[in-house]
Amino acid sequence: MKAATLAFHPFATSKSAGPSSRPKPRQDNSKVARLATPCAKCNLRELCLPCGLKDQELALFANVVYTRKKVKRGEHLFRAGDIFDSIYALRSGFLKSSVVLEDGRDQVTGFHMAGEILGMDGIGSERYTADLIALEDSEVCVIPYGRIHEAGMQRQLHKAMSRELVRDQSVMMLLGTMSADERLAAFLLNLSHRFAARGFSPAEFHLRMTREEIGSYIGLSLETVSRLFSRFQEEGLMTVQQKHICILDISGLKAVMVHVNE
Amino acid sequence: MKAATLAFHPFATSKSAGPSSRPKPRQDNSKVARLATPCAKCNLRELCLPCGLKDQELALFANVVYTRKKVKRGEHLFRAGDIFDSIYALRSGFLKSSVVLEDGRDQVTGFHMAGEILGMDGIGSERYTADLIALEDSEVCVIPYGRIHEAGMQRQLHKAMSRELVRDQSVMMLLGTMSADERLAAFLLNLSHRFAARGFSPAEFHLRMTREEIGSYIGLSLETVSRLFSRFQEEGLMTVQQKHICILDISGLKAVMVHVNE
DNA sequence: CCGCGAAGTTGATCGCGATCAAAGCGGGAG
DNA sequence: CTCCCGCTTTGATCGCGATCAACTTCGCGG
C-alpha cells in the first residue's frame, strides 16, 4: 500500500534560488512567468497534490500553480483569521500549525514537511483557522483556490483533505487514550515514517521543534517530554543529543505502545 | 454568519415509512425510483450538503442522491476497513464514530446529528477508517462518491470536509489543553449549539450517548463525567436526570472555561 | 573571547483524575 | 409484576504527570 521509498532530497533544493529580487507574479494570466521548476519536474510530484495525474493533466495544473513563496524561520505563512484565498503545497522546509484560545492558551495542531498541503482548513469559512509558522526557512507553492477546478484537481484535493481527517483521528486517539510514553513513542514513529517516505533515514534525524512544541502537540509538559527522552535513552531505545535523534530500536519503540500497560 | 434558526423536527420524520418492504434501488440509471422527499423538499437542505445550491443545481444533485438507508440503534452504517464507495448525509437520528487501536482500546471520535456528512474519511484510502454506529434509529441519504462530480458538488464537499477539519482542531484543543471541567462544559455547549441550529432548544435536550461514550470522546473516565454532572448540578449550572439535560446557566458554563484556572 | 537569553535537564512536591469497589436506579423481557 | 442487566452514582485510594525551582548547555552577537 505504501509507495516505494523515494530517493531525493527536497530539503536541499531551494538553495540556488539566487538573490532576493524575485519578480512579482503578474496579473496577466495569458502570459505569466513560468516557474524554474514546474510541477512536471518537481521532485515532490509523487508526494504532492498532483500525485497520480497524467502528463496532460499535470500541464493544466502547472498553469494554476505558478507562484512560490518563501517563509523564513519564525515567520507566518498565514494567521488564523486571515482571509482565505489559496492553499499551499510545501516544497521545502518545516512548519507548525497552531491555534490559540481566547484566554491565550495555544496548542500546536500539526507539524508539516515537504509535499504536504497547507491551508485547507480555510475553505469552509473563507478564513484560515490556524496560524502557520515556519520552524525553518521554507518554500511553498501557492495554489489559488478559486482556480482549482480549472486543473480538474478536485479529486486530489478531496484525497488530501481526507487524509488529513484521518491523521486528525490518530491525534485524537493519541491525546484521548495514550499514556505519556505511548504518546512520545507514537510521535517519534510518525516522524520517522514521514522522513522515510521522503527518502531520509527513518532512524536518524533532526528535530525542528522545541520540547515545548512537542509537548503542546502531544498534550504533555515540556519537562515530561524531556524526561521521557532521557528515559528512552537509558533504556537503549534511542540516543538524544539536543535536537539530534537516533532511533536504535524501532520495534522497541513500537512495543512501548502495547507493553507499557499490561 | 450563523443562519437563522430553523423550525423543523428532523428527528420525528421517519416514523411513517411503513413496513419493512422497502424496494431495492434499481441499477437502471435512466429511470430510478424517486425519493418521496427529494432534496428540494427536504427540511435539511439549508444544513445539508447541497446547502447554497440554486434550484437548477439542486435538481442535478437530486439525480445522484436517490437512495436512503435506515440504520437501527446499535447497528453499523459502516465499519473501519470496509471499502469506500459512498458518503452519507444524515437525515434523522444520531450516530457516533469511533476508532479502535490494535490492542482493543477504542475511542469515540465524534457524534453526528441531522444534516451532517459521514464517511469522508474514506475518500483518501478507498476504505473507511472509523466505525459508524447508530445511537438511535437513523436514516441517511446515500451519495455515491463516484457520481459527485455530476452534480457539481465538489465545492460543497470541500467545504464540508474543511469544516470537519476545523472541528477536529477544536477537539484536539480540548483534549490537549483543557481540564476536566472545561472539557465537559465545552462538550455541552457544543451540543447545545448544534441542537439550536436544528431548531431544538439549546437548553433542554436528551443525551443519546452513555457517560462512557462521552468520557471516551473528551478523554475522561466515565466516573469523572458522572461526578462532573453532579457538581455542575450542585453549582446550579444545570439539572441532570439520567440522560435528560437542562442547562440553567449558559454563561456560567462558558465561564467554567476561563474562570476555573485563574 | 565572553556574556546573555533561550532551550533543555533534573529534582521535589502536589493535585487532578484514573482506578477499584460497592451500592442505587431504570427499563425491558418474560 | 418481578427479575435482571446495563447504566449511573458515589466513595476511597493511588499514581501519573503538572508544576515549581534550580542548574546546565547551547547558540549567537558583540
Is the per-residue pLDDT at B35 higher than 90? no
pLDDT at position B259 is: 56
- Summarised one tens digit per residue, pLDDT across range B95-145 is 999 999 888 889 999 999 999 999 999 999 999 999 999 999 999 999 999
- The more confident residue out of A103 and B162 is B162
- Summarised one tens digit per residue, pLDDT across range B220-259 is 999 999 999 999 999 999 999 989 999 999 999 999 987 5
- A154 at the B interface (CB within 8 A)? yes
Euclidean distance between CA atoms B176 and A108, whole angstroms: 9
Tell me what percent of the residues of chain B surpass a pLDDT of 70. 85
Is the per-residue pLDDT at B30 higher than 80? no
- The more confident residue out of A83 and B49 is A83
Q: Within 13 A of B11's CA, how many CA atoms are on the CB side? A: 14
Select the residue from A96, A162, A171 to test the B interface by mutation, using most B Cβ atoms within 10 A.
Answer: A162
Residue B20 confidence class, pLDDT cut points 50, 70, 90: very low
3-state secondary structure chain A: CCCCCCCCCHHHCCHHHCCCCCCCCCCCHHHCCCCCCCHHHCCCCCCCCCCCCCHHHHHHHHHHCCEEEEECCCCEEECCCCECCEEEEEEEEEEEEEEECCCCCEEEEEEEECCCEECHHHCCCCECCCEEEEEEEEEEEEEEHHHHHHHCCHHHHHHHHHHHHHHHHHHHHHHHHCCHHHHHHHHHHHHHHHHHHCCCCCCEEECCCCHHHHHHHHCCCHHHHHHHHHHHHHCCCEEEECCEEEECCHHHHHHHHHHCCC
Residue A102 confidence class, pLDDT cut points 50, 70, 90: confident
- B251 at the A interface (CB within 8 A)? no
Is the per-residue pLDDT at B15 higher than 80? no
pLDDT at position B34 is: 65
- The more confident residue out of B56 and B15 is B56
Euclidean distance between CA atoms A244 and A201, whole angstroms: 13
Residue B59 confidence class, pLDDT cut points 50, 70, 90: confident
Residue range A188-211: average pLDDT? 96
Residues in Cβ contact with A4 at an 8 Å cutoff, skipping those fewer than 6 apart: none
Q: Which nucleotides in chain C lie less than 7 Å from some protein C-beta? A: 7-12, 16-21, 26-27
**Residue B218 C-alpha, separation from nearest chain A C-alpha, in angstroms:** 7
The letter for the amino acid at A7 is A
Is the per-residue pLDDT at B153 higher than 90? no
pLDDT at position B7 is: 36
Residue A33 confidence class, pLDDT cut points 50, 70, 90: low
Residue range A105-126: average pLDDT? 96
- The more confident residue out of A259 and A138 is A138
How many CB pairs below 8 A link A and B? 132
Is the per-residue pLDDT at B156 higher than 80? yes
Q: How far is the CA of A84 from the C1' of C5 (A)?
A: 37
Is the per-residue pLDDT at B213 higher than 80? yes
Is the per-residue pLDDT at A12 higher than 50? no
- Summarised one tens digit per residue, pLDDT across range B160-199 is 999 999 999 999 999 999 999 999 999 999 999 999 999 9
pLDDT at position B219 is: 98
pLDDT at position A46 is: 84
- Summarised one tens digit per residue, pLDDT across range A142-184 is 999 999 988 878 889 999 999 999 999 999 999 999 999 999 9
Residue A178: φ, ψ to 5°: -100, 150
pLDDT at position B42 is: 86
Is the per-residue pLDDT at B77 higher than 50? yes
pLDDT at position B33 is: 55
- A41 at the B interface (CB within 8 A)? no
Of A130, A166, A177, which is closest to B121 when you measure between CB atoms?
Answer: A166
- Summarised one tens digit per residue, pLDDT across range A46-74 is 888 888 888 888 888 888 887 999 999 99
Q: How far is the CA of A110 from the C1' of C10 (A)?
A: 28
Residue range B7-17: average pLDDT? 36
pLDDT at position B211 is: 97
Give the pTM. 0.86
pLDDT at position A28 is: 45
The letter for the amino acid at B209 is M
